[in-house]
Amino acid sequence: MAGTPDQPDRISEAEQAVMEALWQRSPLTAQEVCEHVCAERDWSLNTVKTLLSRLVAKQAVATQPDGKRFLYSPRIARSDYLGTESRRLVDRLFGGRAAPLFAHLAQSEGLTPDDIAEIEALLKELKS
C-alpha cells in the first residue's frame, strides 16, 4: 500500500558528481555524462554507468529510452539536495542552529570579504 515513509536514499559523493552533470544539462546519455565527469575524476565509462544505475535505483534519476540507449535526467532538484544536505550538517554538527556554523566558517577563514558582503546583502533582504 505504498506505506513506506519514503525515506530518500542518500546520494553519495561520487553519485553527486554525476548528478551535477545532469543538473547542468539534461537529459544526457551515459556517454555524455562521462564526457562531463570522467576526465575530472579519472573514471571509466563503466563507473559512470554503475553510478547512474544506482541513482536510478535510488529514484534520484529518471530514464527515458532513446533508441537503443537511455537518456538520463535528474528526478530531484539540485536546490532540494542542497537544502537537505545543508540541514543535515547543521543538525549534526551545530544542533540545528545556523549561526554557530557561520561563526565557524568565519573563524576558520572560510569567509572571504565577498562572502561577508553578500551575506550582508542577504540579511538586508531578509529583514525587508
Which residues are at the interface with its own copies (CB under 8 A)?
Answer: 13, 16, 79, 81-83, 85-87, 89-90, 92-94, 97-108, 110-112, 114-116, 118-120, 122-123, 126-127
User: Could you say whether residue 60 binds DNA (CB under 7 A)?
Assistant: no
* Interaction partner, residue 6 (DNA, its own copies, none; CB < 5-8 Å by kind): none
User: Could you say whether residue 55 binds DNA (CB under 7 A)?
Assistant: no
Check if the beta carbon of residue 62 is closer than 8 Å to that of residue 75.
yes
User: Could you say whether residue 10 binds DNA (CB under 7 A)?
Assistant: yes
Contacts 24+ apart (CB under 8 A), 112-121: none
Q: Which residues have a Cβ under 8 Å from the Cβ of 96 and sit 6 or more positions away?
A: 90
Give how many residues touch DNA by CB under 7 A.
26
User: Could you say whether residue 15 binds DNA (CB under 7 A)?
Assistant: yes
Check if the beta carbon of residue 22 is closer than 8 Å to that of residue 34.
no
**Bridge partners, residue 19, by sequence:** none
Nearer Cβ to DNA (9/120): 9
- Per CB under 7 A, the list member of 20, 23, 27, 29 interacting with DNA is 29
